[in-house]
Structure 1
Amino acid sequence: MMNKALRVRNTEVMFLFRTVIRDIYEQLLAYQCQKRVTVYRGQVLSIVEYKKLEKSCGSIISLNSFLSTSLNRIIAEGFVQRNMHLCASGDYVAVIFEIEADPAVVCMKNDKTKKNRLPFAQIDELSYYGEGESEVLFMLGSIFRLNEIISHDQSSSSSSSSSLLLSADPTTSIIIRMTLCSDDDDNDLKQLYDHHLKNEYDRKETNLLSLGDVLRNMGKFDLAEKYYCRWLSELPSNDPSLGVLYQRLGMVANAKGEYNTSLEWYQKSLEITVKTRPSDYANIGITHNNIGNVHRNNNDRGRALESYNRAVSLFKQAHDESHPHLASFYNNIGTIYQKEKKYFEALEFYEKSLAIDNKHLPPDHPDLGTSYNNIGTVHRGLGHYDLALDHCNRSLKIRLKSLPAQHPSIAMTYENIGLVYEDKVELKQALTYMKKAQTIYEVALPFNHPYVVKIKNDVKRVEDKF
């Protein structure tokens, strides 16, 4: 049940299992393997899963569940043989994972930056199955380099590019060779990982508030709201963190299209901050910026611009012109000018925002995706369709890399690309991207959310043009 919840990202079940996960982690630390091992896992994969692994050859992959393996290759092969009948349909393929794991890669050291977060251990004496399995268990989230995929009868000296075709013989298993890596390994997402870990999730305490923050950033707004409200019910009425919690509830309500509710939460947050920390210009400015977001989403551009300018003014009293938060404020001012079709003014503020973000953020951060998306939409308004597609595609590449697959921001970029193709009268392309957007919006947002309503109208409009 727990591994299934981890695989499909069922956050509620994962939360219920949090103490179990922690206990397993502590035991893996206590029994960490002390020498290099080669372990095996027999598995029957769907063709879709296998093709994804093929495309990842030579890259870093991470597993979102515990990985059970064996020191005994015969055990892994036996599992494959018992399930080989599944391969007869041609929809599945049998594979043997062969994994090299060196404890020096993940061992504990005095240097805090080398802290072991992902242990692995031989668990024979702890396991229900006993010594017969020779089981080695890897912590969830373990990171591997996928070195090569070779057919059973190939030698280990075969090409590591390994874009191999599936064997026509379903009884022939395929060997997938991997090496355990640390999270310090050089990979494309390392800078993004470090930024989030150190700057956005580096809290001394993990609680319902921090869990809500993760869910909100994943676009799971209903679940985030659930945990925020649960945290609210546990806090005393004079708790100093209430102002922050009200902010989060305002963000979720805004994301769900519940604008009046969002304003009520932000107003509560503002009252607490002004009363308890009147010189905290930064947080007061952030609240005014968030209030501006609600007014903008509610099509009250005048009040939105007023709130954004107040945020910039307050923030400048506390920080310099290149502070990271000002990037968000400038971006929001740009959106107001864009809605008023003042495209050159919008472009000026979007580029100011992008310049600040480029100073502070790793190259695949979602905020950069937002900037490129917005600049693309301005170029669309100016009739610069090639520039619009260029910026929107840069946005899409970043968002697909840094956000969950069903995040509303990905849908937004798909929608904007579709609109550019519609303007170019390339209707087939337009409809393809709009339907991708619609699929995500309908999964991620309530059925009556303004974004869901709009994308349905967009799709119908393009379909009527055929």
Structure 2
Amino acid sequence: MAFFMHDLHCQIEHLYQEWIDKPNLLTVYRGQIVTQSDFEKLKIGQGGLLSFNSFLSTSTNREVSLIFADSNGSDATFIGIFFAIKINSKLSSTPFISLGNLSHFEEENEILFSMHSIFEIGEIHQINERLWQVELLSTINNDKRMTELTDYIRQHTTKSVNYPWFRLAELFFQMGHHDEAEGILQQLADLLSIYAPNSMVHRIVLHRLGLSKHVKGDFTNALSLFEKVLQHHDTSVENSAYLHIELGKTHFSMNNYSTALLNYKKSLEILETTTNCDSYSFGICLGYIGETYLRLGKPRDAQFYVKKAIEICRRILPSVHPFFGNTYNWMGEANRMTGDYPTAIHYYELALKIQEKYLPPDHLDLAHTLDDLGIVHETLQNHSSALSYQQKALQIRSKSLSSNHPDLAKNYVNIGSIYESTRNYIKALSFYQKAVDIYEAHSDEIFLDLATAYHNIGNVFLEMRDCPTSLGFFRRCLKIEEQKLSPDHPTVAKTYSSMAVAHLASGENAMAASLLRKALMILEKDSNSNGPDLANTYRILSGVYFNMNDYPTALSRAYQAREIYESIYPPTHSERVMLDMFIALVHEMLKNN
């Protein structure tokens, strides 16, 4: 079949060159049925480029093409597309021929284009409820976007491996077809382990196989492959810097944040001696260091590195490069963690704007940004918006990931948190349990996000006044955090505060006060902590002192909480409203005593 297709392409090119009286300007038409999701991609891509991956049959007969476009019947899952394709043969080298008398259906006036013809997507307008017209324009030979696209493909495909099967696997990987890529790479790795073990080609194939394993959530095997490749690399060369980045990303996905940071900094150390400090690799590494500091509970350190990454990449990348989607997302998260929610939303929306325009609608980076927007809107108690963002993120991840992938569990936790906020505790627990089932199924790995799920379940039981069950889940949470985090991590402090609330609800004021003091020791000495967690700890501690009839100290702690709340929450936020009511109560008690 491949030989036939190549021969047909050559014949079209040959006849096109010999077609002396071909028209300079030509409009042809094509009717086609597409799915709703494919049509959405087409609309998002307006102004960009569209490639047809097969030979393209069109007609100069408008009416015939309309019949094909309007043949979707009553199936609501499909949309009819009427393509109007405008060709300027003086400016474009896209080969096409008129089949004329060669076609069995002469009345169709068929014009046949060769494979992979590329057009610009022009105007799109609706003809009727189920039929749309899309204007396509032939690209000129020196089209800047085509040049940039060709250069991008050249830069992002490995030239050092000339095996056709490897190139095919790499294309599958770039397109997001990871199962197909992994199947080919595994066969190549098996062959090379016999005939060329530890050769450069073998190492490259193992590296790509590790990337495929990582994307699919098989972190243990990905880590093993990266470490195997690194064993046979010169630790001072630039390629080993990239391997340390991949090792860092894999440890990051396994919640081994300190180890991830060590690998990123090792990569940075190598890059500083082997490449330009204004290089894309250098900028990426700085960005990953910033992302890791976010997970280590150090948002201000994260901002420092991410800002440096943005400064470097702005000098060398176009403003809409997908990497800016990541960096803006990290800046959004850093601002969310410090309680600057308007700025967080601003950065998240910048990231989303880039990702929606230049990534496929089911890309995982898009899901990540939607997820983060959902989290910040839930914090601001915009519950309907939060749920909408989380459901969109879940829909994307469900299409691209296996049913037990840890990223799906993150979505379940975040959706459960929204239901918890709206006091729908049964639904919240059902989503939390889905997440727990996924994390516990990965028995060879301990996920920090499992601690988050346990923490949230503990919160639900606390809201339901079941303090013993609540404390049980908080202790399970703390056990994982003590394994995965440093003792002075802000997340550990948050768990201490939650445990204190459970003890307070049980009338155990002394135990609650002890836990809150441990939390404050962590939060007050951390320069990164000046957000909701610190404010919540002050608020809870004020309640403890209130129960102990120490009203002046209760008032002092309440005002410390209020100062932070006023800087991060709107006046109508429930935390501010309830705290103001509590402060009024304390003032009343002071008057009466």
**TM-score bracket relative to the smaller structure:** 0.7 to 0.9
What's the counterpart of residue 143 of structure 1? 118
Cα RMSD (Å) of the superposition? 3.5
Partner letter of residue 431 of structure 1? L
Cα separation, partners in 2 of 1:271 and 1:129, compared to 1, 3 Å: farther
- TM superposition shift of 1:80: 3.9
Partner letter of residue 104 of structure 2? Y
What's the counterpart of residue 201 of structure 2? 241
Contact 2:123/2:134, CA 8 A, preserved across alignment: yes
CA distance in 2, matches of 1:262, 1:91: 38
Q: Does 1:251 align with 2:208?
A: no
1:166-191 per-position Cα deviation (integer Å, ceiling 9, x unaligned): 39xx9xx98765432236436xx668
1:95-148 per-position Cα deviation (integer Å, ceiling 9, x unaligned): 7644332333333xxxxxxxxxx43233458x6637665422223443334555
Q: Does 1:212 align with 2:169?
A: yes
What's the counterpart of residue 56 of structure 2? 67
Q: How does 1:62-141 map to 2 (within 5 A)?
A: 62-65=50-53, 66-71=55-60, 73=61, 76-78=62-64, 80-81=66-67, 97-107=83-93, 118-123=94-99, 129=104, 133-141=108-116
CA distance in 2, matches of 1:177, 1:308: 47
Contact 2:33/2:69, CA 8 A, preserved across alignment: no
CA distance in 2, matches of 1:175, 1:441: 31
- TM superposition shift of 1:331: 1.4
Cα separation, partners in 2 of 1:351 and 1:207, compared to 1, 3 Å: farther
- TM superposition shift of 1:342: 1.1
Cα separation, partners in 2 of 1:192 and 1:459, compared to 1, 3 Å: farther
Cα separation, partners in 2 of 1:139 and 1:361, compared to 1, 3 Å: farther
Cα separation, partners in 2 of 1:325 and 1:19, compared to 1, 3 Å: farther
Contact 1:68/1:135, CA 8 A, preserved across alignment: yes
Contact 1:427/1:462, CA 8 A, preserved across alignment: yes
- TM superposition shift of 1:429: 0.4
What's the counterpart of residue 159 of structure 1? none
- TM superposition shift of 1:392: 1.3
What's the counterpart of residue 326 of structure 2? 370
Contact 2:47/2:121, CA 8 A, preserved across alignment: yes
What's the counterpart of residue 382 of structure 1? 338
Q: Match of 1:105, SS?
A: coil
- TM superposition shift of 1:302: 2.1
CA distance in 2, matches of 1:270, 1:58: 43
Q: Does 1:31 align with 2:31?
A: no
Contact 1:60/1:143, CA 8 A, preserved across alignment: no
Cα separation, partners in 2 of 1:410 and 1:83, compared to 1, 3 Å: closer
CA distance in 2, matches of 1:86, 1:307: 54
What's the counterpart of residue 302 of structure 1? 258
CA distance in 1, matches of 2:45, 2:202: 48
CA distance in 2, matches of 1:53, 1:354: 28
TM-score, scaled to structure 1: 0.77
CA distance in 2, matches of 1:404, 1:94: 21
The percentage of counterpart residues that share the same residue type is 22
Cα separation, partners in 2 of 1:317 and 1:137, compared to 1, 3 Å: same
Contact 1:45/1:94, CA 8 A, preserved across alignment: yes
Cα separation, partners in 2 of 1:21 and 1:434, compared to 1, 3 Å: farther
CA distance in 2, matches of 1:448, 1:458: 16
Partner letter of residue 217 of structure 1? Q
- TM superposition shift of 1:51: 7.8
Cα separation, partners in 2 of 1:20 and 1:377, compared to 1, 3 Å: farther
What's the counterpart of residue 435 of structure 2? none
CA distance in 2, matches of 1:426, 1:145: 40
Cα separation, partners in 2 of 1:214 and 1:358, compared to 1, 3 Å: farther
Which structure features the higher share of helix residues? 2
Contact 1:77/1:96, CA 8 A, preserved across alignment: no
Partner letter of residue 460 of structure 1? G
What's the counterpart of residue 465 of structure 1? 421
Greater mean deviation of Cα atoms: 80-89 or 335-344: 80-89
CA distance in 2, matches of 1:449, 1:54: 29
What's the counterpart of residue 294 of structure 2? 338
1:200-240 per-position Cα deviation (integer Å, ceiling 9, x unaligned): 24848472323333333333322221121133244332442
Q: How does 1:171-186 map to 2 (within 5 A)?
A: 177-182=135-140, 184-185=142-143
- TM superposition shift of 1:380: 1.0
- Looking at both structures, which has the greater relative contact order when contacts are Cα pairs under 8 Å and sequence separation is at least 6? 1
CA distance in 1, matches of 2:68, 2:396: 38
Partner letter of residue 218 of structure 1? M
Kindly name which structure, 1 or 2, has the bigger radius of gyration based on alpha carbons: 2
CA distance in 2, matches of 1:222, 1:47: 23
Cα separation, partners in 2 of 1:164 and 1:226, compared to 1, 3 Å: closer
Greater mean deviation of Cα atoms: 46-55 or 139-148: 46-55
Cα separation, partners in 2 of 1:310 and 1:99, compared to 1, 3 Å: closer
What's the counterpart of residue 184 of structure 2? 227
1:14-64 per-position Cα deviation (integer Å, ceiling 9, x unaligned): xxx766654443333223264325243352657969986996898344143
CA distance in 2, matches of 1:418, 1:105: 47
Partner letter of residue 237 of structure 1? A
